[in-house]
Each structure stands twice: as structure tokens, then as C-alpha cells.
């Protein structure tokens, strides 16, 4: 009788162990399937893989001064705030300091404190490229530190140039960097010899004007509020 009782308990224990093992196995299998089906979140701040070079210009967050980026490629194409597409280059945004950095969404004010302009070069044209910064509007007498970074994106991200340039008055233009690339995209030279692109932008006709369309010079003047009124782009 005792042997029969012991055998019964052992049988019940084995059955419970099998049931528990199968349950754990099923749970592990479902967890594995769920893990495979999880969609990874899209990464933010991705670099455009179609671009070959990227120029990033930044100045202090929430600063009211308006800093502009000018880039000339090897073919003489020029991007700036009135001509944001030229050749294989694109200026993503004309950042005007804290002007219009606040928008209303569902009655709530949302502010974007970042002051940044980015130019991407989406192909390779052999020759010299020039990157300038221009102090379009100074709202205070304070010095504004402007950081310029130039990156080669392929086959891996490489920083070609990084520096901080101080701007302190309206109309100040500085050449941040000039660099030469060959047909394979290899950078041959990086220097800081001065060259005015603001004057070039006023003299050279835009691509649109050469085709008989409205040129950048015909666009409405940019109006910027200042403590004394407004400043019109000349």
C-alpha cells in the first residue's frame, strides 16, 4: 500500500514537471516570436546617405542674431537664403535667430531654440568649394560665437573642418573654410583664405533668371524686426 502511494506521488510529480516544462517552453517560443516582430524605432538625426558632404553652422540657442550660410561649389553655383537650391547643393533652412521660432499648436506655444543651418552636397564636382558665414543682423553689441563643421559622409563620416568664428557686427562676412576635392571625392586641401561670397551673390545671375523665370533678385526683400524697426535686405 505504501509502495503504491509512493508511486502515485512520483507519477503526479512527473506529470506536473512535464506540464510546467511545456508551459515554459511555449512562453519562451511566444516571447521569441514577439521579439522578432518588434519593429525598431526609426532613428532620429539620420544623415542623408545620398549626400556626399554636409556643412553645419550653429550659434547659441535662442540667440536673436541672424547668421547666414553661403556655399559655393566647384562649378560656381552658390547657395544662400535667396537661392537655396544650386547645382547639387541644398540649404535646408534659413534660420533667422529666434525670429518666428515659436508656433501655436492646439493653443500652446512651442518654441524651437536651436539656431542652425545645414547645407548638403549631394554629388561630387571636382574643384574648390568655399564656405562663408555672414552676420546678417546683429541685435546686440555682444560677440556671437558661430561654429562651422564640414563633414565628408562617405564611405564613413569624417570631419574635414571644425572651428568657431566670432562675429560682432551686422554685415561681417568671414570665410570659414575652402577645400578642394578630386573626381573621387578625396579632399586635397583645406584652408581659410578669404573670399567674399556675399558680393558674388549680388552680381551673379541665378539659374532661374538665366532660364527666363523669376530670379532671386526679384524675390521679396527679407524683413527682419529689430529694436529700431526693420532691416531690409539690400
Domain ranges of the chain: 1-39, 53-204
- Is 115 within 8 Å of 63 (Cβ atoms)? yes
CB burial of 171-206 (b: ≥16 within 10 Å; e: otherwise) equals ebbbbbbbbebeeebebeeeeeeeeebeebbeebeb
| pTM beyond 0.85 | no
Question: Which pLDDT score is estimated for 100?
Answer: 59
- Is 66 within 8 Å of 94 (Cβ atoms)? no
Place of cell 573621387: 184
- Shortest CA distance to 135 belongs to which of 101, 95, 169, 93? 169
**pLDDT (tens place) for every residue of the chain, 234 residues total:** 455 454 455 555 566 677 777 777 776 777 677 766 664 554 444 444 589 999 999 999 988 899 999 999 999 999 999 999 999 999 988 887 655 555 556 677 666 668 999 999 999 999 999 999 999 999 999 999 999 999 999 999 999 999 999 999 999 999 999 999 999 889 989 999 999 999 988 875 544 333 333 343 433 344 443 332 333 343
Question: Which pLDDT score is estimated for 161?
Answer: 97
Secondary element (H or E) of residue 119 = strand 115-121
Place of cell 552658390: 78
Q: What is d(CA 164, CA 123) in angstroms, rounded to the nearest whole number?
A: 27
Question: Which pLDDT score is estimated for 67?
Answer: 94
CATH number (3.30.60, 1.10.10, 2.40.160, 2.60.60) of 53-204 reads 2.60.60
- Is 95 within 8 Å of 58 (Cβ atoms)? no
Q: Which residues pair with 13 in a beta bridge?
A: none
Amino acid at each position: 500500500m505504501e509502495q503504491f502511494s509512493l508511486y502515485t506521488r512520483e507519477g503526479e510529480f512527473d506529470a506536473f514537471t512535464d506540464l510546467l516544462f511545456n508551459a515554459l517552453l511555449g512562453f519562451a517560443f511566444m516571447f521569441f516570436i514577439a521579439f522578432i516582430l518588434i519593429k525598431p524605432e526609426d532613428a532620429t538625426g539620420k544623415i542623408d546617405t545620398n549626400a556626399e558632404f554636409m556643412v553645419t553652422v550653429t550659434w547659441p540657442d535662442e540667440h536673436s542674431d541672424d547668421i547666414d550660410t553661403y556655399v559655393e561649389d566647384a562649378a560656381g553655383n552658390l547657395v544662400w537664403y535667396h537661392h537655396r537650391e544650386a547645382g547639387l547643393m541644398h540649404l535646408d533652412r534659413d534660420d533667422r535667430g529666434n525670429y518666428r521660432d515659436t508656433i501655436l499648436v492646439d493653443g500652446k506655444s512651442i518654441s524651437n531654440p536651436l539656431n542652425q543651418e545645414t547645407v548638403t552636397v549631394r554629388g561630387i564636382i571636382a574643384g574648390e568649394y568655399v564656405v562663408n558665414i555672414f552676420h546678417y543682423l546683429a541685435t546686440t553689441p555682444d560677440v556671437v560665437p558661430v561654429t562651422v563643421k564640414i563633414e565628408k559622409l562617405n564611405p564613413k563620416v569624417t570631419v574635414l573642418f571644425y572651428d568657431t568664428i566670432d562675429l560682432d557686427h551686422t554685415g561681417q562676412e568671414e570665410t570659414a573654410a575652402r577645400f578642394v576635392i578630386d573626381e573621387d571625392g578625396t579632399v586635397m586641401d583645406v584652408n581659410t583664405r578669404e573670399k567674399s561670397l556675399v558680393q558674388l551673390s549680388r552680381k551673379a545671375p541665378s539659374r532661374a533668371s538665366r532660364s527666363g523665370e523669376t530670379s532671386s533678385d526679384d524675390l521679396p526683400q527679407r524683413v527682419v524686426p529689430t529694436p529700431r524697426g526693420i532691416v531690409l535686405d539690400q
